[in-house]
């Protein structure tokens, strides 16, 4: 970390290892990996690429609506994790 007058400042260049460590720390935080896995598994129930993507997006919206109905706030981070897991699953279905 760079310092300016003894205070740390942001570092603008990262190595691939640092990016990977940040990503893994983010996925471990609050069980975020479970949301991505859920989106992936939900997308496997779709027929083809667009069907799998649609299923994952509906699952993401349903999960967030459930959280909101229990008094929590809508979390775009959780929604995007489920959607990105679904996108990965849809891409795998497209390749296969």
- Residue 5 tokens read as 């007058």
In a domain, 26, yes or no: no
Residue 4 lies in a domain: no
- Does some domain include residue 7? no
- What range defines the domain where residue 94 resides? 31-96
Tell me, yes or no, whether 19 lies in a domain.
no
Residue 91 lies in a domain: yes
DSSP output for 66-96: HHHHTTPPP-HHHHHHHHHHHHHHHHHHHH-
Residue 12 located in a structural domain? no
22-66 pLDDT, tens digit each: 888 888 888 889 999 999 999 998 888 999 999 999 999 999 999
Dump pLDDT digits (tens) for 3-13. Answer: 556 666 666 66
In a domain, 54, yes or no: yes
Q: How many domains does one find in the chain?
A: 1
């Amino acid at each position: 970390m760079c310092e300016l007058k003894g205070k740390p400042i942001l570092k603008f260049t990262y190595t691939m290892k640092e990016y990977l460590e940040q990503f893994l720390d983010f996925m471990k935080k609050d069980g975020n990996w479970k949301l991505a896995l859920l989106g992936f598994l939900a997308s496997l129930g779709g027929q083809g690429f667009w069907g799998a993507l649609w299923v994952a997006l509906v699952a993401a919206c349903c999960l967030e609506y459930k959280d909101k109905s229990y008094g929590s706030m809508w979390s775009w981070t959780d929604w995007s994790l489920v959607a990105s897991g679904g996108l990965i699953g849809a891409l795998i279905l497209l390749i296969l």
